[in-house]
Amino acid sequence: MIRVGINGYGTIGKRVADAVRDQPDMEVVGVAKTRPNYEAEQALERGYDLYAAIEDRAHKFADAGMETAGLVDELVAQSDVVVDATPSGIGAQNRDLYEEYDTPAIYQGGEDADVADVSFNARSNYDEVRGADHVRVVSCNTTGLSRLVAPLREAYGVEKVRATLVRRGGDPAQTGRGPINDILPNPISIPSHHGPDVNTIFPDLDIDTLGMKVPATLMHMHSVNVTLEAEPDAEEVRELLADQSRIMVIDESLDIEGTGPLKEYAMDMGRPRADLWENCLWGESVTTEGRDFYCFQAIHQESDVVPENVDAIRAITESADAAESVATTNDAMGI
């Protein structure tokens, strides 16, 4: 069994912990939090050992009636791999801790790419990550774009990608995020950071991205145009994408017109936390004109990177090849 520590038990960390626990070849050593709150309380309720991430604040857990198993250093020392799910920028600060205990670490897409030896997307570059000590799982949006680009490159070749990302203002629990009543170019300059981030997966890809922020919390939306090297048939492309295990092609008969019904669909399916781990791509939006392909896809920012973290664990430990890992992860999580 691969022993996995989770440093940071927030939006991503709690989902990764549950996904790791569901795997047949992994176990959760424990999770680390900086302070007691409802997530720390729920970590204990779910049976996870809780570790204090900051020694000076460790007493606050006891004051709140929450028992800890020790400090984060002990969690790192006991783990074969640590998934760092701390806020952006903190992962880079934690790298020295992981190196001190010679524990490989997986970082999230909020970190700069140079925090790790290589950036990771299971569909696109699994083999490049095998045996690495420090790996960065790219962001939710970059994950969604990479999953879409990989099969198109393989089947048709890609000349250029153009994507406009309409991004949610914040997650449902982020009360301080916005905008509340505005539509923001974010950033105003072009490209947004997403294109260069996709280039950490596909270095030779010609890609332009534009970003916006809107007053919504549920999901991101991508409007994508790809100029291919070969002239595709729309139905063939639709079938190609439907064959991808982490792309959910939404059939017109489902009458899902936006991200609200998508989240309702996830709840009705009984998905934990109403998570949508897959790219949600509207089948009727798949259009081709000459060598140009167009589509709309929605990305659940809280969850699409979760299976990627699980696969990154196997890649780092060299315990499975790409196909085996993805199949195992998908089966265990119900993807």
Binding-site members are 11-12, 110, 139-141, 168, 194-195, 301
User: What's the CA gap between 16 and 307, in Å, rounded?
Assistant: 8
Residue 186's CB is within 10 A of a number of other CB atoms, namely 15
Instruction: Give the chain's length.
Output: 335
Which position has the token pair 């991004």?
A: 167
Q: Known catalytic residue: 140? A: yes
Strand segments, DSSP code E, in 114-219 are 118-120, 134-137, 158-168, 184-185, 207-214
User: What's the CA gap between 65 and 50, in Å, rounded?
Assistant: 12
Among candidate residues 83, 85, 140, 224, the one labeled active-site is: 140
Strand partners, 7: 32, 84
Please state whether the peptide bond connecting residue 179 to the residue before it is cis, i.e. omega within 30 degrees of 0. yes
User: What's the CA gap between 89 and 111, in Å, rounded?
Assistant: 6
- Per DSSP, the residues of 128-154 read HHTT-SEEEEPPHHHHHHHHHHHHHHH
Calculate the CA 283 to chain-centre distance: 23
User: What's the CA gap between 58 and 332, in Å, rounded?
Assistant: 34
- Per DSSP, the residues of 56-102 read GGHHHHHHTT----EEHHHHHHH-SEEEE-PSTTHHHHHHHHHHHTT
Residue 182's CB is within 10 A of a number of other CB atoms, namely 10
Strand partners, 105: 82, 134
The catalytic residue positions are 140
